[in-house]
Structure formats: C-alpha cells, structure tokens
Chain A
Amino acid sequence: MQQMKVEEKEKEKKPKFQMNDHIDILIEVLKRLDGPSLGVAACVCRLWCTLTRSDSLWEHLCFRHVSSPPPSSVRPVVVALGGYKRLYMVCVRPVLSRLRNSHSELVWTRDEVQLSLSLFCVDYYERRLGGGATSASSLMFLCNPVNV
C-alpha cells in the first residue's frame, strides 16, 4: 500500500508533457502535416489556430516536395500575390492532385511550380480586375472533376 502511494505521488510530481507549452515542437509537428490535416489542426484550439495561420507553415507545405528549394525571390512575390496559404489552396493542391493522379510520387518539378505560380498570378490579377461582370473564375477549372 505504501509503495503504491509513493508511486502515485511520484507520478503526480512528474510534469505532464503539455504540447502547447512547447510551441517550437508543435510547429515542427505541424510542418509535417498535409493540407487537410493542417485544416483540421486549425480547429483544435486558439493557439493551434493562430499557429496554422502562419504563412511559413504553408510555404513549407507548398515546397516540401520540390526537388530543389525555390530561390529567395519567390517569397516576396507570393506574399504580394496573396500568400502561401492561398497559393496552396487555390493552385498547388489542385495542380498536384490533377497532375499526380494515382501516382504517389511526391517530388514535383520546377515546371509545375512555375505553372502554379503563373496561375496564381493570373488569379490575383483577375480578383483585382473584377468588381465588374467577370468573376475571378480563371482557376475554377481546377476545381472541376476530371471528366474521363
């Protein structure tokens, strides 16, 4: 009996590991998630929501599987055009899923990166243009299911 009480006391004294106290570890974990999981993570609590809003996480997600890291000039351009989270949601995710189909190759080429960035830029421009009769639907075709 006494031994058990001591063990319990020792257990109580041991600090529990609170993930939210270790934000750097939390970020490292979040960096390894895929898009949908990041979205789910954003719903867990306010801290996680704030963290997942950070564009650097999405930048990491966008270029995680590029064969060589993109040059530093890319970041200001992407930020100016709407940020990495938007880039991921609007371009990278549909482009990758469309081009990958059933393959599980995760590395994507600079050509695909370049194409995504161009489409992202057209999207940005159309959003700035429209307020008129045309909606920014340039990238809507990416959302349509593939008609085989």
Chain B
Amino acid sequence: MSPYESATSAGSSSGSSSAYSSTKPADIDGLLAGAGYKVRSSDLRHVAQRLERLETAMVNSPVELSQLASSDTVHYNPSDIGSWVDSLLSEFNHTPSLPSDLPDLPGIVVGPGISPTVINEADATWMDHDAPQQQQQSAQSLGIPPNQLTVVTAMEEDSGIRLVHLLMTCAESVQRGEFSLAGSLIDDMQSLLRRVNTTCGIGKVAGYFIDALSRRIFTPQASGLFGGSGSASAYENELLYHHFYEACPYLKFAHFTANQAILEAFDGHDCVHVIDFNLMHGLQWPALIQALALRPGGPPLLRLTGIGPPSPDGRDSLREIGLRLAELARSVNVRFAFRGVAAQRLEDVKPWMLQVNSKEAVAVNSILQLHRLLGSDPNRSPPIEIVLGWIRQLNPKIMTVIEHEANHNQPGFMDRFTESLYYYSTMFDSLEACTLQPEKALAEIYIQREICNVVSCEGSARLERHEPLAKWRSRLGQAGFRPLHLGSNAFKQASMLLTLFSAEGYCVEENEGCLTLGWHSRPLISASAWQAVPDANSPLGIVNHHHNNHNAL
C-alpha cells in the first residue's frame, strides 16, 4: 500500500497499513520498507501531503503526463518517496515546495475554523499558478474559499492518521505496563476525537477503541462487565443480537448457509434432532422448518434442543421461543418437539442433558460459540476439548461451525489490538450502508461489546477469543472431525442473499469447501461443516453419510 493511499484512506475505516508502523520516530517505517520504500515514520504525514498535492497538480495541470517521462528532471532513489515526490512536484510547480512545517503550525490543527492569516501564507504556494479552475469554481459555489477547502480535508485525514498512531502507541505502552504514559495518551486521543467526525469512519471506530483501552487501563475489574458470567442481562444480549441480525447480513448468511448444510445432511432421515448452541430468538429455525416442510417425501419429525443462558427474572425465555417455533411448525404441518437447556456457559452442558436417542440424525449448530471455549485454566482441561469430545461421541451427521474470521486470540496484546482494529474497522465500514434505525445503532453497541471484551478483558473474562478458519481446521481435525464441503447450493444461496442487501461491497468466497462472507475482499465470518471421524474402537461402527445436493423443493 503506497503512502499516498495512507493519506486519503484515513477517511475510510479500513485504515492504512503504513499508519500501524513502529512508533520509534527515528526508524524507517517497517511496513513500507517491506514494499521497497524508505520513509521515516515521522515523515509519513509530510510525504502523504506532498503526494496529495502532486495528485492535485497532475490532475489539473495542462502538462501531459507523457511529457513527464521525457522531462529533464532526473529522479534519484525512488525508494525515498519524499524527495521523489518533490522532484516530480517541481515539474508542475515552479515554486519551491511548501514549507513542510505548515502542518505543525498550531493554528492549522484546530478544525475547520482556520485563521485567515495562515491561509494567506499557504495561499501563494498551495495553489500554484497552474491552479485548477474547476476546483476554485466549485469551491466558490460552496461559498468557501478554495484553499481553505483543501486544507480542511487534509487536516481531517491528518487527525485520523494521528488517532491511529496514538492508538497503537497507547496499546504498546499498555503491553509494556507503562500505564501512566498510556493514561496520558488516552487524554490526548480524547481531545483529538473532538476535532474528528465521530459519526463515521475512523473517528467512530477509534472512539470505541479508546473507550475499551481506557477501561483496560483505569477500571480493569469492571471490565468483567463485558465478559464472564452474570454480565449484562440475557435479555439485553438477545436484543442487541437481534438488531445485529437485522442491520447486516453476517448472521443471516450464517443461518442460511448452516440450514442448507443441515438440510442436505438430513436427507432421507425421518427423525432428526438439531442442537443449537445459542438459541437467542431462534431466528435460524423458521427457514429450516419451512424447508423441511417442503422437502420431497414430506417433513421428518424434528426435535430442536436450544441451549441458552438462564433467565434471571423467572421468565423462561427458552421455553417461550420453543413455543413460538412449535406454533410455526404446527401451521406448516411439521411434527416438532422442543427442549430448552439453560446453561450459563457452554462447557456446563453435559451430553445427557440433550437426550439424544440413537435412532435420530443429529445436527450440532454452533454460531459464534466455540471460540468462547478457548480460554484455558491451568487447573482444568481445556473446555474446548471437553465439548468437542462429547460432540464427537454424539456422532452427529453434521456439525455446522460459524466463526469470526479473525485472529483475536494471540498471546501478545499488541498483536490482538492491531488485528482487532483492522477487523472491526472493516466491519463498521460495512455497517455504514445500513440505514435502518434503531437497528444500526444497537448493532453498533453489539459490536462495541465485542471490542471491549477483546481489548479490555483478560483471563476467564475474555470470551471473544476469535481464531481464523485455518486454526479451526487444525483444531477440529485434531479433535477427530473431518470437513464436509458446503456444496454449490449453499454458495448460490449465499450469493443471492447478498444481492438482496443494500450495499454492494459484501463478497462471498469459497475457501476449500467452506464459505466466507467479507467486506471488500476482507473475509469477516466463516461457515464450515464437519462430521465426526468414526472411531475404530467405538461400537458405533462405520458412519454412513450420504451427501446429497438436493434443493428443498
């Protein structure tokens, strides 16, 4: 990624890799060095601004670009971008380049209310004699003097880059235990936030991360609020989850893909049992019930076991959801039985609670649940192994696993922080397209809680231990599962579903038999299907799974 892109993409929240560089000022920026450029981290901003001016000059200049190639100016050492851009700029401006201390002038950094004297200084060199006519005219039609318009956008983007820099510095000082430095950086960032647009883009995401960092630094005990047991009420969680479901397609994609795989796995079976690791409002199951109702040969007997947290106020929310689903199943003539299993944590569930009988085909459905089991206590065996163990013993026809496609479980705090900044920036970017309110606002709170958990919690309180698909593959493979390929029907259905969504930017990709949904080529959520490898020692014998690619109708 070139330094130019780092200047202009600060507005979009996908961020810039060059801004996430090492924070030692004297050093050459490591990420750009990897691309073959030598720029000092402290010079990044200046170089970015010069590149932007170069673009303005090139776009508006009467000089043909082809003439550049035959120019007399010799460009030395293109890896030193700063001087290379300057030499190019000298082709266009016959004035010396703008004094690089312009951005350091204190008056400039303060938002749109820029003092006129400073502008006049910049005036002479900022817009040179090849000044773009169109730009001035359009700026004048807005009633803003053209040079002021240009400087304002540069400053906003500049603040975005500074915010990211400060976030990284703060995270690093947290990792080192320098909490007083981290605290003062939080103050810096909060004051910088006031000058940035926090309703979208980098400002919004940065706000949430600053909040999470300050929780980590100032109130580590209270950060258990977003993790662990007895936290925010189950009702609130369900509500936020439902709004997240409405505002963006990730959960819909998860449900439809899992349902398609389960439907195909249940082909030919008359007694089927679905175990849902996180029932919530049961939004996944109406579509499956309807698809089973319409399958050729008629619907099977469907049993659904829904696992969820116990409701504190005596309301049996699991049972209520079960009743609604039963009502739906009755109206479409599907024989249905529901069972609720209340458990605060998934590892508290024991297989006997599920009452699986040997004649039925079992499907285990885990939507964003398995990663919560990855926290390990040295005194006990890892919960993930316990749970995967009993799942395997149930011998399900299929286990559908939907997980975040992110690496938020690395041991180093800095790595987790960087990764999650990139991941959630992308996710917030995708959420910008949603116009439904209050769905969008509540979906953002849902995501914000995840951010808080990843950044400010540790130990058993940190539940959001996302791992990428590759790691899940090896983990599940070692636990005795083999992958089932999601067929082309699932892919087609996912693509169609995405087409129905307002924003174009979502992309469904196939990844060795698994599907991922992402935003602009960054996968954010992955869906995969698994089956237990038959254990040679167990009495279950050979597993006979006939994988069909039938549609429901």
Interface residues of A (CB under 8 A from B): 70-71, 73-74, 76-77, 80-81, 94-95, 98-99, 110-115, 117-122, 124-126, 128-129, 133-134, 137-138, 140-142, 144-148
Stretch at the interface among B132-140, B328-336, B353-361, B418-426: B328-336
B436 contact from A80, A81, A137, Cβ within 8 A: A137
Look across to chain B and name the residue whose beta carbon is closest to the beta carbon of A148.
Answer: B504
- Contact A140 to B286, CB < 8 A, known contacts A124-B328, A129-B281: no
Whether A146 lies near B502 (C-beta < 8 A) is yes
Interface residues of B (CB under 8 A from A): 239, 242-243, 245-246, 256, 259, 281-283, 286-287, 289-291, 293-294, 296, 298, 324-325, 327-328, 331-333, 433, 435-436, 439, 489, 492-493, 496-497, 499-504, 551-553
> A99 CA to B242 CA in the complex, in Å?
26
B286 contact from A99, A121, A133, Cβ within 8 A: A121
Whether B497 lies near A110 (C-beta < 8 A) is no
> A119 CA to B496 CA in the complex, in Å?
12
> A133 CA to B499 CA in the complex, in Å?
28
Leading 9 A-B pairs by shortest Cβ distance: A125-B286, A121-B290, A80-B331, A118-B287, A144-B502, A121-B286, A77-B332, A147-B502, A134-B242
Whether B331 lies near A81 (C-beta < 8 A) is yes
17 further A-B contacts with Cβ under 8 Å, apart from A115-B496, A121-B286, A122-B286, are A73-B294, A95-B500, A111-B489, A111-B492, A111-B551, A114-B551, A115-B493, A118-B256, A118-B287, A118-B291, A121-B289, A125-B283, A125-B286, A141-B500, A141-B501, A144-B502, A145-B502
Whether B499 lies near A99 (C-beta < 8 A) is yes
Whether B500 lies near A117 (C-beta < 8 A) is no
Residues of A with C-beta under 8 A to B497: 115
CB A87 to nearest CB in B, in angstroms, measures 12
CB A88 to nearest CB in B, in angstroms, measures 16
Whether B553 lies near A70 (C-beta < 8 A) is yes
A81 contact from B239, B282, B332, Cβ within 8 A: B332
What are 12 A-B contacts defined by CB distance under 8 Å?
A: A73-B298, A76-B332, A77-B290, A81-B331, A94-B500, A99-B500, A114-B552, A115-B497, A117-B290, A120-B290, A121-B287, A129-B281
Residues of B with C-beta under 8 A to A111: 489, 492-493, 496, 551
Whether A117 lies near B499 (C-beta < 8 A) is no
Whether B553 lies near A110 (C-beta < 8 A) is yes
Whether B500 lies near A140 (C-beta < 8 A) is no
> A44 CA to B261 CA in the complex, in Å?
48
Residues of B with C-beta under 8 A to A71: 294, 296, 553
Residues of A with C-beta under 8 A to B291: 114, 118
Look across to chain B and name the residue whose beta carbon is closest to the beta carbon of A71.
Answer: B553
> A76 CA to B330 CA in the complex, in Å?
12
Whether A122 lies near B287 (C-beta < 8 A) is yes
Look across to chain B and name the residue whose beta carbon is closest to the beta carbon of A80.
Answer: B331
Residues of A with C-beta under 8 A to B246: 134, 137-138, 140-141
> A71 CA to B553 CA in the complex, in Å?
7
Residues of A with C-beta under 8 A to B496: 99, 111-112, 115
CB B435 to nearest CB in A, in angstroms, measures 6
> A43 CA to B474 CA in the complex, in Å?
63
Residues of A with C-beta under 8 A to B245: 138
A128 contact from B242, B327, B500, B504, Cβ within 8 A: B327
Look across to chain A and name the residue whose beta carbon is closest to the beta carbon of B439.
Answer: A137
Residues of B with C-beta under 8 A to A144: 435-436, 502
> A76 CA to B325 CA in the complex, in Å?
18
Whether A113 lies near B499 (C-beta < 8 A) is no
Residues of A with C-beta under 8 A to B242: 134
CB B310 to nearest CB in A, in angstroms, measures 19
Residues of B with C-beta under 8 A to A119: 287
> A102 CA to B182 CA in the complex, in Å?
55
Residues of A with C-beta under 8 A to B281: 129, 134
> A121 CA to B245 CA in the complex, in Å?
16
> A36 CA to B516 CA in the complex, in Å?
38
CB A131 to nearest CB in B, in angstroms, measures 11
Whether A141 lies near B502 (C-beta < 8 A) is yes
Look across to chain A and name the residue whose beta carbon is closest to the beta carbon of B287.
Answer: A118
Whether A98 lies near B294 (C-beta < 8 A) is no
A146 contact from B290, B293, B504, B552, Cβ within 8 A: B504
Residues of A with C-beta under 8 A to B435: 144
> A95 CA to B489 CA in the complex, in Å?
18
> A141 CA to B523 CA in the complex, in Å?
22
Residues of A with C-beta under 8 A to B333: 76
> A148 CA to B504 CA in the complex, in Å?
6
Residues of A with C-beta under 8 A to B294: 71, 73-74, 77, 117
CB A72 to nearest CB in B, in angstroms, measures 10
Look across to chain A and name the residue whose beta carbon is closest to the beta carbon of B334.
Answer: A77
> A114 CA to B259 CA in the complex, in Å?
12
Look across to chain A and name the residue whose beta carbon is closest to the beta carbon of B289.
Answer: A121
Residues of A with C-beta under 8 A to B499: 98-99
> A141 CA to B246 CA in the complex, in Å?
8
Residues of B with C-beta under 8 A to A148: 504
Look across to chain B and name the residue whose beta carbon is closest to the beta carbon of A113.
Answer: B553
Residues of A with C-beta under 8 A to B296: 71
Which among A98, A118, A142, A145 has the greatest number of chain B C-beta atoms within 10 A?
A118
> A147 CA to B327 CA in the complex, in Å?
37
Residues of A with C-beta under 8 A to B259: 118
- Contact A124 to B286, CB < 8 A, known contacts A112-B496, A114-B291: yes
Whether A133 lies near B328 (C-beta < 8 A) is no
> A9 CA to B154 CA in the complex, in Å?
87
